[in-house]
Structure 1
C-alpha cells in the first residue's frame, strides 16, 4: 500500500509542472480574449453612436421603426 501512495505522488510530481503551465497559459489566453473582445465591442458601439448623430432625422425615424437599436444591442 505505501508503494502505491509513493508511486501516485511521484507521478503527480512529474505531471504537476506541465499541468500548472497549461492552466496558466489557458487563463492568459482567456484574459486576453476577454479584454480584446470588450475593447472591440466598446469601440464598435462608440463608432455607431458617433455616426448615428450625423444621420438625418428621417433615417433615424426609419431605424427606430425597424427597431434597429434593439437589434444592434442584441448583437453586441
Structure 2
C-alpha cells in the first residue's frame, strides 16, 4: 500500500503491478472497471456519529468556517 501519493504515482504503481486495487468515486470505478488487473472499489463513503454533547472539532481534522 502506498499512501499518500499523487494520482500520477498511483497510476504508475497500478500499471506496474500484476494486480492492484483502487478505492474511489464513480470516476475511478469507470476508469478501471474494464482492466482485469485492477480491482476498483467504490464509491466509498465514510461516516462518523457524534452525539450532541461532543465537540466534532475534537474528532475530525477538517477546517471549518463555522464554529
Higher relative contact order (CA 8 A, sep 6+): 1
TM-score of the two chains, using structure 2 as the length reference: 0.22
Which structure shows the higher helix fraction? 1
TM-score of the two chains, using structure 1 as the length reference: 0.20
